[in-house]
Structure formats: structure tokens, C-alpha cells
Amino acid sequence: MSNQMIRGGRWSRNDMREAKRALPTARMPRRQIIQRLWRYLGRNRALMVLAIFLTLLSSSIGLVGPRLSGLAIDAIGLTEGQADFPKVFLYVGLMALSYVVAASLGYILSRVTLRMTRNIIYRMRKDVFDKLVSLPVNFFDKYQAGEIISVVSYDVDTVNESLSTDFLQILQSLVTVTVSFVMMMSIKPILTLVFLVTIPLTALYTRWITGRTRPLFRKRSQKLGELNGYMEEMMGSKRPTRAYGREKQVIEGFDEKNEEAVVAYTTAEYYGTMIGPSVGFINNISLTLISVFGALLFLRGQVGLGSISSFVQYSRRFSGPINELASIFGELQSAFAAAERVFRLIDAEPEAQDAPDATVLMDVSGDVRAEHVDFSYIEGVPVIRDFSMHAKPGALIAIAGPTGAGKTTLVNLLMRFYDIDAGSIKVDGQDIYGLTRSSLRGAYTMVLQDSWLFYGSVYDNIAYACEDATPERVEGAARAAMIHSFIKKLPQGYDTIIGDDGVNISKGQKQLITIARAMLSDARMLILDEATSNVDTQTEQRIQQAMRQLMAGRTAFVIAHRLSTIKSADTILVVRDGNIVEQGKHEDLMAQQGYYASLYHAQFESY
């Protein structure tokens, strides 16, 4: 990525869109994929053994029918003009019984397979989601959300369908081919010479075509993920799209992504579906040759009509699975491509483990000190340089500066969402890299500029940060955040369901709910990242007053967009290009007539 994409340490929306990319698509060895897929089957060993047993038994019993059919034809005695009807009825009865038993076992097999399928898809999707939860924040800075969702949904389903059904179908096909070949050898071995030509031809063709289709199916999964990523981004920007009249460009962008996905899908499916008919054509050639040579042998009296009938049926049973196997190999290419994406996500580097001797941060007082901190998102492009500060317990630290100066980056470093390149950050005199992440992050509560709400009741959204929250405490936090009166006016009050990300309430109300959530937490340190940017000035002043009372004894870091809201801060850190250029109280900084004063005056002049 070029350095021009980085502007003062902050990425624009377009830069982030260019930086985010599809999940890695480097080829993973097929043997490794099969081994890992086999482990998921192994976790359901009892069901797998039962399924294999039922497959072998039902396939074997079902293959008795053609032989009994041939014996019944011979018992009619067409060549001798006599018919042994007791034998005919016996063979027909046994044949019907074999088909009924095989069908019953097949039904039981389908139930067992369904249960095994459910277990496998649950386990695989859980493994993927558990990995997502453990991944560092910078992973989601790199890859599109729609791409990741495509892996969790489409790719996992594709892998599971192949893993649970194709495996047993391959086994069934192998049993059918083996038993059919043995039965044909027992009927007339010379007729099996026909397969010496057709089987090698089928194997060579299948190997050639599957080698060509695997990259195509990999590309199909990739393009589908890119399409999902684009759709996810556009669905999240409906208002700006309409506000700027960009509907035409969005549609054109979708059409382009959709065309690429359709072309990739069509190409992969074209070559994948060619396998079955092509192999079927070769098998039909073998059936034709068998019919011709069988008729010649019958005319010479070397084989009976019933035996020819049985041999033809077994030859179809023998050729059918080969045709099915060819189709399965085409489906497996899609499954292998999807499995690569699933396993690459599972193999993604998780957030680094806590140090073996990491301690739990307890009895937090809120003393935070940063010394000579350097940080960069991309190596060689520094964002924070030689940053130092000291926040005493209970202090209100305001961080001010122009857009892209590194204000939000600073608080991300305090909570170890990103790891610093040099320097040290300490809480209560303890280096944060010697503390467990959970205890460090549990010592903070935060309200971000981009407020986040989930689908659920207002009560649940406020109580999200506190597992043992009581209705009284939730209501108290809502009152302090000046949102209680609004909540009481809702149809069900605190039990009112709000939509995903609070789409049915205003941005200001969303932010007030997230502020109430933060107020409910017992954390000793508070981070407010332009948390009042979506409320009016009068409400903001009331919130500031309430928060000053609730923040008593807490260390608070406030990233402020409107400088008028941080006049009462104990210390104001003025950040510019990743460095603290000034620090002190509002009055002192204004008296210096430096960079802070110029920002303050420029802001009010702009209003």
C-alpha cells in the first residue's frame, strides 16, 4: 500500500475500502484439507461408524436384486419352453424383500447422516466464530465484513454438505462398484474385458478435468465473498448514497461485482457439470459393447438370457457409481475451495496470548502513565511518535487536536487494541504488557463516536456492560444520561425492542443510551471518544454536569471535537501529527496563544 493512502495517521473511508481485501486465497495442499476435514468426521466417530455400516449393508443387500432377477428369468425356461413358477415366485419374492430391506436401511442411514451433518456444521461454524472473537482488532481493519460473513455462512454450508453426504456417497459407490464387478466376474468373466478400455479412459479424463476445475471453484468462492462484502458496505451507507445521489454509481458497482461473480460461478459450474455427462457417455459406450458381445455369446449358447440380463444390470450398477464419482469430484472442487477459506480464517493469527506471568489488574486507582510511545499501523509509516503523558487518579484528561492527529489511536493503545512499537504504558505503576488483557480492558469503560446498539430491549442495551445490573441501577444510569424521560415515552418503556444498531431511534438517542451503558459500569477509568458529538449543545452541557458527578474518583480520557466542552478538564493534551505539542488547563493554553488557542478561535470563527 502506498504511503499516500495514509494522511496524518488516519485513513479516509475510501482508503479503508481500498485497504480491505478478500481473505487470503493462496493454495492449501489438498492432502492437508482432507486431513482437517477428516477430523470433523472423527468427532462424530460413533455416528460415522454406524453410517458406514448401514451404507455397506444397504448397498450389498440392494445389489442382490439383479442376480435374483436373472435367476428368475432363467427359471421361466424361455430356451427350453418350460417354466418353473415356484422358483420364479421365490426369486421374485426374495428380490422384492432385498429391495425393501435396502430401502429401510437407506431411510435409517438418512436419519443418521442428518444428525451427523447437524453436529459437523455446528462444530465448524462454532470454530469459525470462536476464532473471530479471538482475532485482534486490526484483522477487521484489513478484511471486509461481508467477506467474513460469506465464509461463516456460505462456505461452511458448502463444506458441510460435501463432508456429510459426498463421503458416504463415495463409500457407497465403491461398495457398488466392487460388488458389481465380483458378480459380473462370477457370471461371465470375458465380458468384463470391455472395462479395460473404458475405465482407464474415465480415470484419465476425470483427473484432467478436476485439475482444471479446482482453481475455478476457488475463484468462484472469492468473487462471491467480494460481492457480499460490497453489498454489506452499501447496505450500511444507504443514507449517504441517497444524499449524494450516488445510486447510479452504486448500481454500476454492484453490476460489476455481480457480473464477476456470475461469470466465475458459470465458468466453474460449466466445467464441473461437464464431468458427469462426459463420463456417462464413456459408460454408455461400455454398455453398448457389453450388449453386442453378450448377444453374440447368447447366440452361440455360451451364456443364458438371464445371465445376460443380470450382467447388463450389474454393468449399469458398475458404471453408474463411476459416473456419480465423477460428479462428486466436481462438487469436491467447490468444497475444497470453500474449505480453504474456512481453514484460512480458522488459522488466522489470534490476538497474542497474555504473558505466562501476566497478573490480574486489581484494586484499580486509575493512575495512567505513557512514556515515549511510538506506534504505526503500517511499518515505516509512524502515527504516534515519542508520546508521553501522566494521568493521575480521578483526573479528567482531554485530548484535543485536528482530524487525523492520532487522538483515537491513543485510547486504542491504552486498552491494548493495538500493541505499541516502542515505549511503555503503565496503569497504577504496572506495565500493561504484564497484565491480562481482560483485567486491563475491564478497568475501562468507553463510549465511542460510532455508538453501537444491538437488537434487543432498551434495558438489555443499557445493562450490556454490567452482568449483575438491577432495574434500579439501569434507571439511575438512564436518568444521569438524560435519557430516562425519552425511554418512558416509548411503547413498552425499558422493554421496548430497538432495531439492529438502533435504526428506529435517532443518533442522539442512540448515543445517550450508550452513555447510560458506560455510566452503569464500575470501571475506574473512562474513555469518551467524541461521545457527545450527536447531541445538541444544551443536552451536552447537562450530560457533562451529570458525568462530572458520576466520574468522581475515576480517571477519564475525553476526546473532544467541540473544544468548548473541555474547558473544565484537569489537563488538556493537544495532539498534532502524533505528538503532544501542548498540555495544561484551558486558561493556561489560551494564555500561551499557541496551537490550542488557534484551534479554539478557528472553531468558533467557523461557527
For 482, the grid coordinates are 438524560
pLDDT-wise least confident of 401-405, 567-571, 579-583: 401-405
Helix and strand numbers, DSSP H then E, in the chain: 22, 12
Query: What does the pLDDT look like over 183-198, one tens digit per residue?
Result: 778 777 777 777 777 7
Looking at mean pLDDT, say which of 140-154, 374-388, 498-512, 580-594 comes out highest: 580-594
| Residue 6 pLDDT exceeds 50 | no
Residue of 138, 24, 67, 560 lying closest to 312 (CA atoms)? 67
Query: What does the pLDDT look like over 356-401, one tens digit per residue?
Result: 888 998 888 889 998 998 888 877 778 888 888 888 888 888 888 8
Query: What does the pLDDT look like over 438-483, one tens digit per residue?
Result: 889 888 888 777 777 888 888 988 888 787 888 898 998 888 888 8
What pLDDT sits at residue 234?
A: 73
pLDDT-wise least confident of 67-81, 131-145, 361-375, 468-482: 67-81
| Residue 133 pLDDT exceeds 70 | yes
What pLDDT sits at residue 424?
A: 92
* C-alpha dihedral (14, 18, 23, 24), degrees to nearest 10: -160
What pLDDT sits at residue 196?
A: 72
What pLDDT sits at residue 156?
A: 86
| Residue 46 pLDDT exceeds 70 | yes
Who wins on pLDDT, 217 or 418?
A: 418
Query: What does the pLDDT look like over 301-350, one tens digit per residue?
Result: 677 766 777 777 777 777 767 666 666 766 777 788 888 888 888 888 88
Sequence-distant (6+) residues with CB within 8 A of 317 are 63, 66, 176, 180
pLDDT-wise least confident of 28-32, 136-140, 466-470, 535-539: 535-539
| Residue 425 pLDDT exceeds 90 | yes
Delineate the domains of the chain, giving CATH numbers in brackets.
30-346 (1.20.1560.10), 452-522 (3.40.50.300)
If you count them, how many residues does the chain have?
607
Percentage above 70 pLDDT, the chain: 81
505 in Cβ contact with 498 (< 8 Å): yes
What pLDDT sits at residue 1?
A: 33
| Residue 560 pLDDT exceeds 50 | yes
169 in Cβ contact with 141 (< 8 Å): no
Query: What does the pLDDT look like over 246-264, one tens digit per residue?
Result: 778 778 888 888 888 888 8
Kindly state the average pLDDT of the residues 225-254: 72
Give the helix/strand (H/E) hosting 509. helix 507-520
Rg (CA), the chain: 35
C-alpha–C-alpha distance, residues 479 and 55, integer Å: 65
Distance between first and last Cα of the chain: 37
Cα 464 to chain center, whole Å? 24
| Residue 78 pLDDT exceeds 60 | no
